[in-house]
Amino acid sequence: MKPREKPGCVYTVMDARCFDHPDCSVEVVIDKGTLDSVANLADRKVECKTMLREVFRVLRPGGKYFLITSCPLDASDDESEDEEDNHVQLVHDPEFKWKVVESEAIQRNKVRHMLYILIKANCDEESV
């Protein structure tokens, strides 16, 4: 499927763990399920952190990462799931200097959908 032409927009497809963009060169990254998919790889925590580091690296200060994630309600409510093992919680790691804005969860057909907006801090700002 070809994206519609939008003035000023460039669409790229590549491995999210190894972007082909220079540091601080991207204003917006949109992720609809990519982090969820990476979390299914064998070494999920390492692979997810690698992806998040790449997103953080290519974003300009003030750049936005829109993370759209979904999980079955029974999996997200599973008390046996260690908070440390939850790949979405990695966005709160102090390594990343970004402001995390979470939307309210939308629940539909036994699935919870969340939108996180992560804004990369300027060099003189701290993460929130």
Percent of the chain clearing pLDDT 70 (strictly above)? 83
Q: What are the tens digits of pLDDT across the range 51-91?
A: 999 999 999 999 999 999 887 776 544 444 455 457 888 88
Q: Which residues of 74-87 are buried (b: 16+ CB within 10 A; e: fewer)?
A: eebeeeeeeeeebb
**pTM for the structure as a whole:** 0.80
Q: Which of 1-15, 55-69, 104-118 has the highest mean pLDDT?
A: 55-69
With a cut of 70, say whether residue 126 has pLDDT above it.
Answer: no
pLDDT of residue 79: 43
With a cut of 80, say whether residue 35 has pLDDT above it.
Answer: yes
| Domain 26-120 top-level CATH class | alpha beta
| Mean pLDDT, residues 38-45 | 90
